[in-house]
Amino acid sequence: MGRRRRSSSGDSTSTDTSMGGGGGDMGGDGGGGGGMGMGACYVYPIRQAEVPALDPDPDVVYRRGIDMTIPMTMDDGRTVNMWGFTDLGAGGGGMGGMGGMGGSGTFPSPAMRVRQGQVVQTQLQVDMMMFHTIHHHGIEPEYRSDGVGHISWDVNGMYTYQWRPMSAGTYFYHCHTNTVLHAEMGMYGALIVDPPDGPGRAFEGGPSYDLEAIWAVDEIDSSWHGLSWEAGTCGGDVGLNELNPDYFIITGVDGAQSALSHPGVAVSMNVGQRLLVRYICAGYLPQQIRFGGLEAEVVASDGRPLPRSFRATQLDAVSAERYDCIIRPTRSGVHTVEIDIKHWITGEVLGTARTRITVN
């Protein structure tokens, strides 16, 4: 208790007072109750301030809570604990869900899908004695809505981010508190920005598609998955410099076997249809995706249309990159898509995640 930390005005204030959050008096942890239970050495909790000019009538409101008990059963039968965001439901105001625990989290976290130009608010509810944020990766709001703890604040209580995507494409959102750990634990979800007219085109004036696949490819080091939220923030060595992945997954599905047929990942399509693959490199290590002999037209990267699309049967990507790829098979067949996850220095292939495109 009584630990002092910086406030936005530059003076010092005790941790006990300001955890209620920018959204109002949540009671939250009962003030002092939180105190240093929140992680003795955590260094970024600058006092939350409200985003100025929060739109009273946003086009879209997301409400997200926290779930740090999300069991994921792997193909080998082991269960690994994941963390993620819950969907507390739409509809702002009310400050309901005081528990902040309503709904159960998923891995990956529930997708956000909006249209270019919409004013969007993301309300984050963190009631437990800890901090999290939401960073809408690739969106460019002002810093108070950017959700990067290091340059603004981490959230305890309730906080509302406001953002307005100006370029259709593939993004993702993730927690930016103790980022190395929290992202690895699974605190991310897809963020799709459709053109103003809605789904069906990759971007305004861009290519159309008939169906889409969202492949967020990630590696998991299960030895990290018993750590506490603030692990490593006190200067101790908890091993976050050593990522030795033992699972390789596609959009929350084990890429060893399950992703080959999982309906949320594997694709079944007809000759002549146009598939939009939204490929997200959601891990830390370099990846190479191969489309099983199919040729893709790569039309956008990192939420921006490419000035000139290009054709490719494989792509290399590094952490947080996204590629939007149109695939239009000309004959029936079964194609095994493989994503190698490589050691970041040696390039050695540490594992491969697989899924399938079946063309009827």
Query: CB 18 → Cu ion: shortest distance, Å?
Result: 19
Strand partners, 169: 193
Query: CB 177 → Cu ion: shortest distance, Å?
Result: 4
Q: Which pair of structure tokens corresponds to residue 240?
A: 């976050």
Query: CB 353 → Cu ion: shortest distance, Å?
Result: 24
Selected binder of Cu ion within 135, 174, 182, 342 (CB under 5 A): 182
Binding segment for Cu ion (CB under 5 A), chosen from 121-129, 182-190, 282-290, 340-348, is 182-190
Selected binder of Cu ion within 47, 63, 115, 132 (CB under 5 A): 132
CA–CA distance, 220 with 339 (Å, rounded to integer)? 14
CA–CA distance, 240 with 231 (Å, rounded to integer)? 9
Binding segment for Cu ion (CB under 5 A), chosen from 134-142, 171-179, 202-210, 235-243, is 171-179
Residue 209 DSSP code: -
Residues in the interface with Cu ion (CB under 5 A) total 5
Binding segment for Cu ion (CB under 5 A), chosen from 117-125, 169-177, 204-212, 321-329, is 169-177
Strand partners, 330: none
Residues of span 27-46 touching Cu ion by CB under 5 A: none
CA–CA distance, 5 with 321 (Å, rounded to integer)? 35
CA–CA distance, 167 with 194 (Å, rounded to integer)? 8
Residues of span 183-222 touching Cu ion by CB under 5 A: 187
Query: CB 61 → Cu ion: shortest distance, Å?
Result: 21
Q: Which is nearer to Cu ion, 209 or 224 (CB)?
A: 224
Residue 175 touching Cu ion (CB under 5 A): yes
CA–CA distance, 325 with 115 (Å, rounded to integer)? 19
Residue 122 touching Cu ion (CB under 5 A): no
Q: Which is nearer to Cu ion, 229 or 291 (CB)?
A: 229
Residues of span 47-106 touching Cu ion by CB under 5 A: none
Q: Which is nearer to Cu ion, 144 or 182 (CB)?
A: 182
Q: Which is nearer to Cu ion, 126 or 339 (CB)?
A: 126
Q: In the chain, what is the straight-line distance between the N-terminal and C-terminal CA atoms, in Å?
A: 64
Q: Which pair of structure tokens corresponds to residue 130?
A: 């800890």
Strand partners, 9: none
Which among 223, 214, 195 is positioned nearest to 267, based on CA atoms? 214
- CA pseudo-torsion sign 252, 257, 258, 262: positive
Residue 135 touching Cu ion (CB under 5 A): no
Q: CA distances (Å), 160 to each of 106, 124, 133, 156, in order?
A: 21, 6, 10, 12
Q: Write out the residues near Cu ion by the rule CB under 5 A.
A: 132, 175, 177, 182, 187
